[in-house]
Amino acid sequence: MKMLVTAGPTREFFDTVRFISNPSSGKMGFAIASAAASRGHEVLLIAGPVALDDPPDVQTRRVVSAREMFEASLAAFEDAQAAIMTAAVCDYRPVAPMSKKLAKTDQSRHITLEATDDICAHLGNQTGNRVVIGFAMEDHDHQAHAQAKLENKRCDAMVLNGPGNVGSDIAEVEILLADGTWRALISDTKTNIALLVVELAERLVSEKSHS
């Protein structure tokens, strides 16, 4: 099948050199893209700024901003059967980025932010027979927030993880399915978790195609 995977952070610049971002390493998304390719799928990986080499046998497209990732994801989803959205897309961006570097002064500066597009929700609301698996990074009220995200974004499954997974080669995740079922906590390498997520995507696509 054709599979879209997003990974890493985005950067939202408020002048020519400074930006808002987050510490996402992209490791989980890259591991998922590699696992999907190893199982014979045609994979497009859309990656924000990360220090990782392109996975073998994966078409990789590098982007920087949330808007770039949004546009690339929408285009790729048109002929994909599944999308696995691991990217930690910035929720906000500066309304009016400066065209040059701001000089430091003793004065406070105020930056107005606006919401970025919710890529996962946009795809989730136009799935049809396609599958969208989201990722929820939560540091409190974990399951409640993951449940709300699954419903609001209309995903077929939501992978719940926490800040302790960032940058690590191992992770702890819980998976919530669309019917409200939680899978038991999984603690393993990101490589092994990636394979489980790809197998889940395969099963969900098969179920939708036969429904």
Spell out the per-residue pLDDT of the chain, length 211, in tens: 999 999 999 999 999 999 999 999 999 999 999 999 999 999 999 999 999 999 999 999 999 999 999 999 999 999 999 999 999 999 999 999 999 998 889 999 899 999 999 999 999 999 888 999 999 999 999 999 999 999 999 999 999 999 999 999 999 999 999 999 999 999 999 999 999 999 999 999 999 988 7
Identify the CATH homologous superfamily for domain 2-91+113-209: CoaB-like (3.40.50.10300)
Among 146, 182, 184, 180, residue whose Cα is nearest residue 162: 146
Is residue 196 packed enough to be buried (19+ CB in 10 Å), middle (13-18) or exposed (0-12)? middle
Residues 32/113, Cβ–Cβ less than 8 Å: no
pLDDT at 210: 80
Phi-psi region of 167 (alpha: psi -120 to 50; beta: other; left: phi over 0): left
Give yes or no: 22 in active site: yes
Three-class secondary structure of residue 177 per DSSP: strand
Residues 139/164, Cβ–Cβ less than 8 Å: no
- Single out the catalytic residue among 22, 125, 152, 165: 22
Distance CA 130, CA 211 (A): 12
Residues 29/45, Cβ–Cβ less than 8 Å: yes
